[in-house]
Amino acid sequence: MSRQIQVFSDAQPLAQAAVQTWSELAKTAINARGGFHVALSGGSTPKKLYTLLAEQCDPALLSKTHFYFGDERSVAPDHKDSNFRMAQQALFAPANIDEAHIHRMQGELPADEAAGNYQKILDHNLPKDEQGMGVFDLVLLGMGEDGHTASLFPGTDALTQTTQWVCANHVKKLDTWRITLTYPLINNADNVLILVSGAGKQPVLKQIFDHIPGHEHYPIEDIHPRGNLLWYLDQAAANDIIHL
Ligand code: 6PG
């Protein structure tokens, strides 16, 4: 695994750099295997990236891309909180992505059922390694102010999932169920790109990167892909961090 950290002045150049990285990884994967398999992150940070991808990414690359999700909320696909809806509005619709290449987590179903269905979708569509484990070309992740990523929240059962690729995860502090990819699958990716923007994320990032003694161990600290780990931070999130 290689780790690289880049800091950008604000969210716009961060998103622009992510478009460039996405395109390079897509070209490599498509040239090698004819397709590019990416898990999208939710929340607000990646929306700018998705909008720029629709505007700037070579349609020939997008047409060979399979879009998956790192996690989903337990809501219908047209709900304002749906990660699918955000990606649909920012990227899939404007870029006219083939529906057959969009692999949605069914947030409208009970989380356990949705996770079981998604396991089948992943197993059917993802490239596999020698052990039969799915391999994403790229997993996009964000980070919450509590150090969660995807829907791997502190103190939740999904953190200890060592076999399933995707699972239902009850998040007590939000009083909700989520569907999330698990560490085994995320860490089997060739590339993981973590996008973190905003001052609210700085305290957790400082504890992690500056190895503050006695800090809580955050879920995002267990993201160790077999391939490349890239952190793209804006200045607000990276402020006052020494060891970047
Ligand atoms: C979600 C995301 C989640 C997100 C972080 C950061 O469903 O909310 O997958 O892991 O990446 O919560 O969210 P922001 O980018 O909105 O700060």
| pLDDT tens-digit readout, 76-105 | 999 999 999 999 999 999 999 999 999 999
Q: Are 114 and 107 in contact (CB under 8 A)?
A: yes
Q: Please give the Cα distance from 178 to 75 (Å, whole number).
A: 9
pLDDT confidence of residue 242: 87
Q: Average pLDDT for residues 29-52, to the nearest whole number? A: 97
CB atoms within 10 A of CB 47: 17
Q: Average pLDDT for residues 40-47, to the nearest whole number? A: 96
Q: Average pLDDT for residues 223-240, to the nearest whole number? A: 97
Q: Is 115 exposed, middle or buried (0-12, 13-18, 19+ CB in 10 A)?
A: buried
Q: Average pLDDT for residues 110-130, to the nearest whole number? A: 98
Ligand 1 pocket, 44 CB below 6 A? yes
What phi and psi values does residue 7 have, to the nearest 5 degrees?
-115, 135
- Report whether pLDDT(1) > 90: no
CA–centroid distance, residue 37 to ligand 1 (Å): 20
Q: Are 49 and 15 in contact (CB under 8 A)?
A: yes
Q: At what angle do helices 47-56 and 11-33 cross, to 10 degrees?
A: 60
| 96 alpha-carbon distance from chain centroid | 21
CA–centroid distance, residue 44 to ligand 1 (Å): 7
Token pair 């600290």 is found at 221
Model confidence pTM above 0.75: yes
- Report whether pLDDT(217) > 90: yes
CA–centroid distance, residue 41 to ligand 1 (Å): 7
Q: Please give the Cα distance from 235 to 195 (Å, whole number).
A: 12
